[in-house]
């Protein structure tokens, strides 16, 4: 993190902040293909990698045997890795076969991995050449999901950034709103209804359900993030003239209300109309959270760095569910996208950016929080020591944004605690 960012963070969050560098335990960016391929329903993701990469994707996706998945791995063999074969020729063949076989695919992403990066396979150039060859059939672009360059949710940022240059220019004098970051279809539909009621039109979700749902971008574009891991794409769109709206993320009743209020303010929507539109869903969300909050109140939670959702989740849990935050570990702390969150955190909470696995785990063992949010690889070890955990990957896979999902979001954290209390009651000791 640069010193500029560090000083800006200090401006917004008065509490302690540190950085750690050391061993990490986080999935690579290939993991993001799992939710991206569900969201962009006519896209295909071709990983150029090893058998390990193929294994990761297939186990993370839990592919059913009869399914025809929209992702695959072009496996680099020993001859490729030793530089004895022409990888471009092979890639050309695989892509041609794929395009012939899968006529419903409108966008092909070539996804780089550690092995393709190590042998310096230039996938961007390969994508441009393949695009020229298959011009009328499919759009082709490339991004990196390699574990050397990316962690887990950063894969989505790289994917979106890879198409940012293709976004058409917004005609001068026109205005639009771009909601950035994957949300589920159900969340998009709910958000669209609220935007309609607020009188906000020309709204685009990026990524959209279809690969060619590409929003126009220019001086009249307002940009709001729905996910915290889209910082590089935010910057690419700002360079194209878009204005970012500072808001907390739409998580929980308060977060969702503030998110819509910030957007409404940027559009100059009348206050009475905003309150009238938001009041009912807001009250409904508050009631849904209350039933879960009773199980969460007074518990202590610890976040290990994984998804970049840690700061907004900690805000939601302390602000709306009465949890005490022990520590917020986050792999990256992007002050531009987190600006709407930091001031709402408890002032004394410690934010740790980056990871050094052993000291981070020792702090969890020492504090023995009621719940630790962490990656799947760490969870089992902590559970075996009698600590309750929540996989952070579930927070990315589940529809959690917006008023109607607020109760479900709280219940994701309540479930492991309820499970523990049932085990305690049922225990023979
Ligand atoms: S991209 Fe790298 S870290 Fe990810 S599965 Fe492949 S080899 Fe492993």
9 & 101 share domain? no
Residue whose CB lies within 8 A of the most ligand 1 atoms, among 25, 26, 30, for a mutation test: 30
Task: Output the pLDDT for position 68.
Answer: 67
Residue 242 lies in a domain: yes
415 and 294 both lie in a single domain: yes
Distance of CA 213 from the midpoint of ligand 1 (Å): 30
Any ligand 1 atom below 6 A from CB of 30: yes
266 and 325 in a single domain? The answer is no
Residue 158 counted as domain residue:
no
The domain that holds 244 is classified in CATH as 3.40.50.1980
- Region of 151 please: left (phi>0), alpha (psi -120 to 50) or beta: beta
Residue identifier of the C-alpha nearest atom 8 of ligand 1: 53
Ligand 1 within 6 A of 111 CB?
Answer: no
403 assigned to some structural domain: yes
In short, whether 247's Cβ falls inside 6 Å of ligand 1 is no
Q: Please report whether residue 381 resides in a domain.
A: yes
How many residues would you count in the chain? Answer: 429
Q: Are residues 54 and 90 both part of a single domain?
A: yes
Same domain, 40 and 139: yes
Ligand 1 pocket test: pick from 34, 52, 72 the residue with the most ligand atoms within 8 Å of its Cβ: 52
Is 295 in the same domain as 417? yes
Residues 193 and 319 in one domain: no
361-371 pLDDT, tens digit each:
999 999 999 99
Beta bridge partners of 74: 48
Alpha carbons 373 and 180: distance in angstroms, whole number: 25
Last residue of a domain, one of 273, 304, 329: 273
**Do the domain assignments include residue 279?**
no
CA 81 – ligand 1 centroid, Å = 15
Domain count, the chain: 3
Tell me whether residue 168 is in a domain.
Answer: no
User: Is there a contact between 408 and 42 (Cβ–Cβ < 8 Å)?
Assistant: no
Identify which has the larger pLDDT, 76 or 47.
Answer: 47
Question: 211 is in which domain, residue-wise?
Answer: 176-273
Q: How confident is the model at residue 84, as a pLDDT? A: 59
Q: Is 335 in the pocket of ligand 1 (CB under 6 A)?
A: no
For the cut 90, the answer to whether the pLDDT of residue 299 exceeds it is yes
* Nearest protein CA to atom 5 of ligand 1, as residue: 53
Whether the predicted pLDDT of 224 surpasses 90: yes
CB 342 within 8 A of CB 311: yes
Same-domain status, 325 and 260? no
Tell me the CA–centroid distance for residue 361 and ligand 1, in Å. 24
Smallest Cα–Cα separation from 15: which of 347, 301, 332?
347
Confidence grade of residue 382 (pLDDT, cut at 50, 70, 90): very high
Residues 402, 334 within the same domain = yes
Query: Which residue has a Cα nearest atom 6 of ligand 1?
Result: 53
* Bigger pLDDT: 429 vs 227: 227
Are 258 and 348 contained in the same domain?
no
CB of 414 shorter than 6 A to ligand 1? no
Q: Which of 188, 217, 222 lies closest to 205, judged by CA?
A: 188
Q: How far is the CA of 54 from the centre of ligand 1 (A)?
A: 9
| CA dist list (Å): 378 to 6, 69, 76 | 28, 28, 29
> What mean pLDDT is predicted for residues 397-418?
93
How far apart, in whole angstroms, are the C-alpha atoms of residue 292 and residue 136? 52
Q: Locate the ligand 1 atom nearest the alpha carbon of residue 52 and give its number.
A: 5
Are residues 359 and 253 part of one domain? Answer: no
Stronger pLDDT, 345 or 10, i.e. the higher one: 345
What confidence tier does 12 reach under pLDDT thresholds 50, 70, 90? low
- The residue among 107 and 90 whose pLDDT is bigger is 107
Please state, in angstroms and rounded to a whole number, the distance separating the CA atoms of residues 141 and 166: 10
- Flag whether 314 is in a domain: yes
Mean pLDDT for the stretch of residues 91-104: 90
Residue 85 has a pLDDT of 65
Whole-number pLDDT of residue 417: 82
Any atom of ligand 1 within 6 Å of the Cβ of 54 = no
CA 424 to chain centre: 35
Cis peptide before 207 (omega within 30 of 0): yes
Cβ atoms within 10 Å, residue 100: 10
Give the Å distance between the CA of 319 and the centre of ligand 1: 37
Burial of 425 (0-12, 13-18, 19+ CB in 10 A): exposed
Contact 170, 221 (CB under 8 A): yes
Q: Is the pLDDT of residue 83 over 80?
A: no
Q: Give pLDDT, residue 4.
A: 33
Query: Does residue 52's CB lie within 6 angstroms of at least one atom of ligand 1?
Result: yes
- Ligand 1 atom, smallest distance to 29 CA: 4
Mean per-residue pLDDT for 236-261? 97
Percentage of the chain with pLDDT > 90? 73
11 and 54 in a single domain? The answer is no
pLDDT of residue 67: 58
Average pLDDT for the chain: 90
Q: What is the pLDDT of residue 3?
A: 33
Q: What is the pLDDT of residues 300-335, one digit of tens each?
A: 999 999 999 999 999 999 999 999 999 999 999 999
Assess whether pLDDT exceeds 50 at residue 429.
no
Residues 283-287 have a mean pLDDT of 98
Mean pLDDT of 370-387: 93
Q: What percent of the chain has pLDDT over 70?
A: 91
Quick one: pLDDT at residue 421? 64
The predicted structure's pLDDT at residue 2: 32
Q: What pLDDT is attached to residue 74?
A: 86
- Of 6, 29, 33, nearest to 18 by C-alpha is 6
Domain for residue 245, yes or no? Answer: yes
**Average of pLDDT values for 80-97?**
80
Atom of ligand 1 nearest to the CA of 55: 5
């Amino acid at each position: 993190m640069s010193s500029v960012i560090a000083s800006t963070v200090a401006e917004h969050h008065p509490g302690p902040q540190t950085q750690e560098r050391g061993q990490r335990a986080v999935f690579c960016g290939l993991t993001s293909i799992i939710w991206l391929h569900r969201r962009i329903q006519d896209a295909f993701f071709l990983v150029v990698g090893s058998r390990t990469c193929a294994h990761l994707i297939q186990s993370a996706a839990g592919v059913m045997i009869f399914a025809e998945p929209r992702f695959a791995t072009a496996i680099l063999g020993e001859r490729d890795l030793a530089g004895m074969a022409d990888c471009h020729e092979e890639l050309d063949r695989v892509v041609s076969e794929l395009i012939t076989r899968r006529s419903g695919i409108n966008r092909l992403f070539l996804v780089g991995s550690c092995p393709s990066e190590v042998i310096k396979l230039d996938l961007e150039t390969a994508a441009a050449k393949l695009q020229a060859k298959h011009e009328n059939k499919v759009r082709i672009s490339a991004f990196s999901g390699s574990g050397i360059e990316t962690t887990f949710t950063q894969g989505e940022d790289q994917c979106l950034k890879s198409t940012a240059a293709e976004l058409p220019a917004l005609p001068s004098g026109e205005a639009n709103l771009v909601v950035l970051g994957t949300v589920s279809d159900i969340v998009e539909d709910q958000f669209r209804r609220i935007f309609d009621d607020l009188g906000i039109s020309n709204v685009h979700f990026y990524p959209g359900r279809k690969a060619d749902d590409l929003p126009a971008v220019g001086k009249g574009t307002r940009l709001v993030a729905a996910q915290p891991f889209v910082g590089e794409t935010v910057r690419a769109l700002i360079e194209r003239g878009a204005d970012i709206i500072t808001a907390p993320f739409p998580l929980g009743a308060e977060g969702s209300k503030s998110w819509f209020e910030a957007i409404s303010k940027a559009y100059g929507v009348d206050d009475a109309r905003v309150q009238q539109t938001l009041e009912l869903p807001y009250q409904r969300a508050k009631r849904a959270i209350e039933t879960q909050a009773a199980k969460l109140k007074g518990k202590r939670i610890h976040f290990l760095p994984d998804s970049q959702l840690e700061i907004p989740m900690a805000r939601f849990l302390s602000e709306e569910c009465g949890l005490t935050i022990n520590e917020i570990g986050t792999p990256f702390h992007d002050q531009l996208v987190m600006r709407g969150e930091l001031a709402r955190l408890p002032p004394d909470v410690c934010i740790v950016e980056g990871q050094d696995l052993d000291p981070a785990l020792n702090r969890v063992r020492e504090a023995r929080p009621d719940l630790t949010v962490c990656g799947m690889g760490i969870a089992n070890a902590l559970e075996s020591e009698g600590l309750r955990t929540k996989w952070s990957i579930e927070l990315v896979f589940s529809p959690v944004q917006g008023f109607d999902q607020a109760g479900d979001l709280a219940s994701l954290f309540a479930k492991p605690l309820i499970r523990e209390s049932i085990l305690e009651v049922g225990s023979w000791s």
